[in-house]
Amino acid sequence: MSRSAVWHPFTQHATEPVPPRIARTEGAYLETADGKRILDAISSWWVITHGHRHPRIVEAISEATATLDQVIFAGLSHEPAERLASALVEMAPAGLDWVFYSDSGSTSVEVALKMALGFHRNIGAPRSRIVVTEHSYHGDTIGTMSVGARGVFNAAYEPLLFEVDTIPFPSTGREQEMLDRFEALSRSGEAAALIVEPLVLGAGGMLMYPPSVLTELKRIAEASGTLLIADEVMTGWGRTGTMFACEQAGISPDILCTSKGLTGGSVPLAATLATDAVFRAHYSEDRAKTFFHSSSYTANPIACAAALANVGIWREEPVIERIAALSRMQADKISRFRDDPRFENVRSTGTIAALDLRVGRAGYLAEVGPRLRAFFLERGLLLRPLGNVIYVLPPYCVTSDELDRLYDAVDEAADIVRAVR
């Protein structure tokens, strides 16, 4: 096989082996060209919900290609986008009445940040500060890196990033510290928005916090006129046990970002949902108040058709029941490690479960990370630990027996991988 010209994401090619080539996907599995089946225990970076190549979504994509490809979305519209926007407004927390399309989680967050700044400017009370949560991650574009945690992910790009105000992560015992800090920042009158990952911080280490914290953050934001942006790119579409994580806190954000599971993981699409107040701040005979943002593939009709098929699955199949069953299985199966001295911070929220392997050097660059990944892949399991943090985030079609195999491998890895110094 000739040398590949592909530069892979989050991959150090000097130390990583040549990656396997996937020839087929189906259900909870990836299959290599030589026939090896790999259980996709991280939903291919958190995007696959019902399983790979769900027949209804595949059929919808095929049908859409018979009549449409890309259509410019500035000055034109099309039926798939119109129908999907109506469905999203219906399914999202109350009050999110407007849908702005883009093509990835990062861009949906960029859109949200620009909406927030534009809102305050257009109502004549400009604010310039964004409040973020410690350990957060919102993407890899310049704006999303700026509102994420600073560290190895973005150190080389520091000159491009804008300043933000950071509040502590609400770990057990620090909840009030977080709320007090946000309240103090809000009183300054300079905070345009607070952006949060509701209930679970993903790439920051699958860190979890209770819904009551999110409820209080919304209360403080509302009292001070600070917009609340909910980054539900990972947590939406059932990952935390409900359609959107915000539902568990009983709140409606001012702006909500969704992607990943929007199309069931089949093709790229994103949407940023906003309140009527945010939209109206940009609605004016003064063309300078236009919301100046677009992606070339905004509201791609084929992607919108895939998302509509996904909406149909949610409406017509027992998806919530599947998610509830998977959530129970995850909580039950990971509990075997709660008193295991090899692990700490054993946790789960909805369909997501995680635990930290006790090692001498923790963090994303922990040497144990690549060893764990190789160990699992050799056993036909796709797990991609965040350094020493092992997490399981499977598609909703995964079975109890498959989860048993996963957690047996985690048990085995704790001894074998830790023994290698």
Per residue in 194-227, pLDDT tens? 999 999 999 999 999 999 999 999 999 999 999 9
Biggest alpha carbon distance in the chain?
Answer: 68
Residue closest to 127 by CA, chosen among 115, 135, 138 = 115
Tell me: do 312 and 323 sit in the same domain: no
Give the model's pLDDT for residue 2: 65
Return the CA Rg of the chain.
21
Q: What is the DSSP letter of 191?
A: E
In a domain, 159, yes or no: yes
The domain of 79 spans: 57-316
Please count the CA atoms within 13 angstroms of the CA of 43 that sit on its side-chain side: 26
Tell me: do 273 and 139 sit in the same domain: yes
CB-based contacts of 149, cutoff 8 Å, min separation 6: 134, 135, 136, 137, 204
212's tokens: 């009551």
Give the model's pLDDT for residue 153: 86
Tell me: do 83 and 174 sit in the same domain: yes
Residue 140 near residue 106, CB atoms below 8 Å: yes
In a domain, 37, yes or no: no
Tell me: do 353 and 364 sit in the same domain: yes
CB-based contacts of 164, cutoff 8 Å, min separation 6: 129, 130, 131, 132, 146, 147
Only one residue has tokens 């930290």, namely: 356
In angstroms, the Cα distances linking 363 to 152, 327, 331, 386 are 10, 26, 24, 7
Tell me: do 272 and 383 sit in the same domain: no
Please count the CA atoms within 13 angstroms of the CA of 241 that sit on its side-chain side: 19
Q: What percent of the chain has pLDDT over 90?
A: 95
DSSP run (H or E) holding 120:
helix 105-122
Tell me: do 213 and 326 sit in the same domain: no
Give the separation between CA 58 and CA 312, rounded to whole angstroms.
13
Tell me: do 74 and 213 sit in the same domain: yes
Give the model's pLDDT for residue 142: 96
Residue 249 near residue 295, CB atoms below 8 Å: no
Residues in the chain with pLDDT values less than 50:
none
| H helical segments located in 123-210 | 142-146, 175-187
Only one residue has tokens 């085995």, namely: 412
* Beta bridge partners of residue 98, listed in sequence order: 274
Tell me: do 235 and 196 sit in the same domain: yes
Domain final residue pick, 289, 316, 343: 316
In a domain, 294, yes or no: yes
Q: How many domains does the chain have?
A: 2
